[in-house]
């Protein structure tokens, strides 16, 4: 029902959904490629709107870029046994990403993680933090609970229980893992090479094969690698031996510096 409603081209439905959403969540369209809300064919087109080409400036390389507009709610180091998330709660890292392959090198000895929350008013496309080649694309089915920071603080295991897509890239500074976590309502995660899964008609195997079709593709810094049709958090994982945090907790924009390379002694 939500899928059909958010893609309805009926003028009054489209107008009501978009205008109500703008009012409730104080959405600012100043940076959008299309700033007139009446020019979107349906609500989902508005929700997944593109930015103007000049709306964001990328930090100079080799800085690791923020993949999203959102709020950096936590960052730190993670071992294979746990991930310290919001307000110090810990939950199984293996539960979040499944069984990591030994060659990933992310936890050698520890991984550096960043947890970015996208509020409803935010821009909902995900961009490449660093140039690299896609080596793994995995879908893990799950629930569609809210991922608001206050909810995750009470139930940190939510990130490891919701539906998510794992994208692993090989970069000059080692492996890079970007995790797209779905949330309430449609929760549709899509990539440039794979449309969002429709639970009532897509088989699991078919979606996994479509997602794996992007393996081997190369992406430059800032390239779009995914988007959310509703609700989201994005986690970025990189080797702690290669990177150190550069951004403080709080609001963050696409292209801002997330981490910088560690100085070689």
**Exposure of 103 by Cβ count < 10 A (0-12 exposed, 13-18 middle, 19+ buried)?**
exposed
Helix, strand, or coil (residue 180): strand
232 is catalytic: yes
CA atoms within a 13 Å half-sphere pointing along the CA-CB vector of 45: 15
Catalytic residue among 130, 232, 233, 247: 232
Catalytic residue among 127, 130, 233, 247: 127
For residue 118, the tally of other CB atoms under 10 A from its CB is: 22
| Cα gap 114→242, rounded to integer Å | 14
39 is catalytic: no
For residue 111, the tally of other CB atoms under 10 A from its CB is: 27
124 is catalytic: no
Catalytic residue among 69, 122, 130, 233: 69
For residue 208, the tally of other CB atoms under 10 A from its CB is: 16
| Cα gap 120→106, rounded to integer Å | 31
| Cα gap 126→226, rounded to integer Å | 5
| Cα gap 231→181, rounded to integer Å | 8
Q: Which two tokens stand for residue 133?
A: 């080649």
Chain centroid, CA 174 distance in Å: 20
For residue 65, the tally of other CB atoms under 10 A from its CB is: 23
Catalytic residues: 69, 127, 232
């Amino acid at each position: 029902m939500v899928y059909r409603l958010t893609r309805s081209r009926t003028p009054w439905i489209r107008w009501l959904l978009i205008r109500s959403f703008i009012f409730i969540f104080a959405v600012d369209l100043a940076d959008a490629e299309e700033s007139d809300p009446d020019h979107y064919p349906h609500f989902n087109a508005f929700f997944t709107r593109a930015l103007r080409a000049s709306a964001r400036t990328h930090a100079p390389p080799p800085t690791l870029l923020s993949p999203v507009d959102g709020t950096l709610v936590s960052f730190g180091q993670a071992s294979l046994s746990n991930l310290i998330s919001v307000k110090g709660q810990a939950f199984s890292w293996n539960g979040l990403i499944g069984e990591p392959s030994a060659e990933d090198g992310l936890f050698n000895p520890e991984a550096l993680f960043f947890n970015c929350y996208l509020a409803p008013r935010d821009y909902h496309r995900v961009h490449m933090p660093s140039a690299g080649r896609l080596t793994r694309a995995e879908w893990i089915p799950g629930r569609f609970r809210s991922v608001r920071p206050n909810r995750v603080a009470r139930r940190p295991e939510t990130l490891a229980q919701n539906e998510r897509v794992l994208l692993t890239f090989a970069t000059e500074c080692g492996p890079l893992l970007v995790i797209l976590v779905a949330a309430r309502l449609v929760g549709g995660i899509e990539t440039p090479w794979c449309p969002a899964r429709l639970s009532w008609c897509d088989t699991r195997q078919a979606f996994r094969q479509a997602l794996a079709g992007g393996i081997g593709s190369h992406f430059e810094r800032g390239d779009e690698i995914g988007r959310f049709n509703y609700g989201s958090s994005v986690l970025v994982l990189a080797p702690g031996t290669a990177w150190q945090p550069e951004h403080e907790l709080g609001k963050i924009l696409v292209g801002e510096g997330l981490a910088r390379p560690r100085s070689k002694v």
